[in-house]
Amino acid sequence: MASDDIPESWRAALEPALDTPEARKLGGWLRAEEAAGKVIYPPRGSRLAALAETPLDQVKVVILGQDPYHGPGQAHGLSFSVQDGVKQPPSLVNIFKELEGDLGIPRPATGNLTPWTRQGVLLLNNTLTVEAGQAGSHAGRGWDAITDAAVEAVASTGEPTVFVLWGSHAKKKAGRVPSLGKGARHLVLTSVHPSPLSAHSGFFGSKPFSQANAFLQAQGRGVIDWSL
C-alpha cells in the first residue's frame, strides 16, 4: 500500500499509518492473494475511491460501512454504493427506504451514491477489500489502522461533522470521535446495520438524513441534497 496511492488531501494524515510494518504486510498479503488467483473486490484503482471522491477538507458527513460488497460488479470503493445499472443490494434498498421515510425522497433508480460524495459525504468502509463471495474475509488484515486514521483526521479538523455509524463494526470507530462533553463539535449517529437481518431492530425510523442536515444547517455548513 504505497503512499503514492493516497489522494493528496489525505496524504499527511494517513502516511504515518501507512509507514508501518502492518500496512506493508497488508500490501504484500493482498498481492499474494491476487497472485494465487483469488478475486478481490473492489478492483485495484478503486480501493481508495472514497478518499479520492471526497477530499479531507470537504468532508461534512462520514457514513461508515463494514466491508465492500462481495458480489461480482458491485463494489467500487464507496460504502453501500453500486455503479449505475447494478442491482441495488438489500442493505442499500433499506437505506433508500429509510431515506424515503425520513425525507420523502422516493427510491432512486440508481444505487450509485457518487453524487453524495461530491457534496462532502465520505462513504468509507472499515475494511477496504474483500474476497469474492466471502463477506468479512479481509477483516483484521490491517485496514483498520488506515481507516481509523482517516476517521481521526476528519474528527481533528476544525469543522463540525456528522459521523453515521451503522452496525457493530462501524460503532467501534465512535471512540475516535470527540463528540461528547465540553467543547464537542461533532454529531455521532449510531444504529443497527441496514441489512435485512437487523434493519427492523432500529435502523428504520432512525432518521439519520434529517438529523445530519439539521446539524449541518445549525453549524452553518449547508445541507446535503440526498436525492440522486
Show which residues are catalytic: 67
Range 9-13 contact pairs with CB under 8 angstroms and sequence separation of 24 or more? 9/51, 9/55, 9/56, 9/57, 10/51, 10/55, 10/56, 10/150, 10/153, 13/56, 13/149, 13/150, 13/152, 13/153, 13/156
Give the chain's count of helices (H) and strands (E). 8, 6
Q: What stretch of H or E contains 168? A: helix 168-171
Cell triple for 19: 509507514
**Omega before 115 within 30 of 0, i.e. cis:** no
| DSSP category for residue 106 | P
Neighbours of 181 (CB within 10 A): 6
